[in-house]
C-alpha cells in the first residue's frame, strides 16, 4: 500500500466511524426487533399528523413505543387514554399564541380557562397544560415579565393543589413574529418571579436553536426551569436526521444526564411521504 492509498483508507475509516452510529440508527429504526431503551418518555405533537385520524394515529404510536400524544384539547383526551396512551401536554384555552399572560386585559379569561381545566387535567392524568407569553405589541420585556408573573401567580395555588404544571413555551420570534418569551433567560427569570414548581418552561429545541443556539449548555444551565421539551430539525423543522444541523443523540444524552424524567415531544413536520415511518426513525434517533 502506498502513502496515497493508506491516507485514503484511513479517511474512509474515519467517515464510517463518524457517521456509522447515526446511520445505523436510521437504518434500523423501522425494524420491530429494535426495542426502545426506556431512558426517555417519548411523546409526539398531534398537529404534525392531523391528517391521520386520531384513533389510527394512537394505534400507530402505541406500536412504535410512543407513550403520549400531546397538544390536545379536552375533547380528544379520552381517545388517547382509551388507546392506552397519555397526553403529556394539554390545551386549557381556545386562545392561541399571540394572546397570552403578558397583557393584563387577557388575565380574566386566561385565568378562568385554566382554573376550569386544571382539575380536569389532573383527573385525566395530564401532567402539563401549555400557556404562552403572548406578543409584545410594543411592550418592553420587563413589563411583560411583571404582567405574566401577576397572572400566573394567581393560578399556582390551584396548580399546586392538583399537581398540574403550567408550562410556557419558548418560541422563536422570527417565525412567531413579536412573541415575547423568545429567550431562555427571559423564561427562567419568569420562573423565578412566579416562584412555584408548578410553573416551568417548554424548551423547544428547534425554536431555541434559531434564537440563541448553544443548546446543550443552555439545557444544562437552566434544567431546573424546564418542564418539557420539543424537537424539530433546523433548518425547516423537518426530520432529525443528517439533513439538518443539530445532532439529536448528543442533545438527548445531555437531557438524560440532567436527571429529567418528563416527556420529550417530537414536533417536526415530516417531509417524507410515509409520515409514520419518519416518526419511527426520529424516535429511535432520540432514544439514547
DSSP for 131-181, please give it: E---B-TT--HHHHHHHHHHHHHHHHHHHHHHT-EEEEEP--TTTTTTBS-
Say what the pLDDT of residue 34 is: 80
Mean pLDDT for the stretch of residues 117-125:
98
Please report which helix (H) or strand (E) contains residue 264, including its range. strand 263-266
The three-state secondary structure class of 203 is strand
The answer to whether the beta carbons of residues 73 and 121 sit under 8 Å apart is no
- Residue 196's pLDDT band (cuts 50, 70, 90): very high
Whole-angstrom distance, CA of residue 285 vs CA of residue 231: 11
DSSP 115: H
For the whole model, what pTM was predicted?
0.88
Topology of domain 39-286, per CATH? TIM Barrel (3.20.20)
Say what the pLDDT of residue 27 is: 38
Mean pLDDT for the stretch of residues 6-18:
41
Q: Is the pLDDT of residue 125 over 50?
A: yes
The answer to whether the beta carbons of residues 118 and 110 sit under 8 Å apart is no
Whole-angstrom distance, CA of residue 233 vs CA of residue 8: 32
> Could you report the per-residue pLDDT of 204-231, keeping only the tens digit for each?
999 999 999 999 999 999 999 999 999 9
Quickly count: other Cβ atoms within 10 Å of residue 32's Cβ: 9
In degrees, to the nearest 5, what angle opens at C-alpha 215 toward C-alphas 212 and 217? 110
Amino acid at each position: 500500500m502506498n502513502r496515497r492509498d493508506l491516507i485514503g483508507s484511513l479517511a474512509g475509516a474515519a467517515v464510517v466511524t463518524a457517521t456509522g452510529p447515526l446511520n445505523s440508527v436510521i437504518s434500523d429504526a423501522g425494524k420491530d426487533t429494535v426495542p426502545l431503551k426506556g431512558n426517555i418518555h417519548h411523546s409526539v405533537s398531534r398537529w404534525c399528523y392531523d391528517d391521520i385520524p386520531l384513533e389510527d394515529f394512537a394505534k400507530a404510536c402505541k406500536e412504535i413505543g410512543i407513550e403520549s400524544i400531546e397538544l390536545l384539547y379536552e375533547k380528544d383526551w379520552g381517545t388517547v387514554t382509551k388507546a392506552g396512551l397519555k397526553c403529556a401536554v394539554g390545551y386549557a384555552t381556545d386562545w392561541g399564541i399571540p394572546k397570552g399572560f403578558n397583557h393584563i386585559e387577557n388575565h380574566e379569561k386566561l385565568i378562568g380557562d385554566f382554573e376550569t381545566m386544571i382539575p380536569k387535567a389532573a383527573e385525566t392524568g395530564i401532567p402539563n397544560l401549555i400557556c404562552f407569553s403572548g406578543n409584545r405589541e410594543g411592550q418592553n420585556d420587563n413589563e411583560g415579565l411583571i404582567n405574566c408573573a401577576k397572572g400566573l401567580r394567581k393560578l399556582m395555588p390551584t396548580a399546586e393543589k392538583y399537581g398540574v404544571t403550567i408550562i410556557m413555551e419558548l418560541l422563536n420570534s422570527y417565525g412567531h413574529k413579536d412573541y415575547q418569551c423568545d429567550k431562555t433567560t427571559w423564561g427562567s427569570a419568569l420562573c423565578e418571579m412566579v416562584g412555584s414548581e408548578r410553573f416551568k418552561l417548554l424548551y423547544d429545541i428547534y425554536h431555541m436553536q434559531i434564537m440563541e443556539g448553544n443548546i446543550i449548555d443552555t439545557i444544562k444551565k437552566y434544567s431546573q426551569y424546564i418542564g418539557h421539551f420539543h424537537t424539530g430539525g433546523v433548518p425547516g423543522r423537518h426530520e432529525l436526521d443528517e439533513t439538518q444541523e443539530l445532532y439529536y443523540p448528543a442533545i438527548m444524552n445531555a437531557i438524560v444526564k440532567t436527571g429529567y424524567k418528563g416527556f420529550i415531544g417530537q414536533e417536526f413536520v415530516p417531509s417524507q411521504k410515509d409520515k409514520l415511518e419518519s416518526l419511527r426513525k426520529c424516535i429511535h434517533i432520540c432514544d439514547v
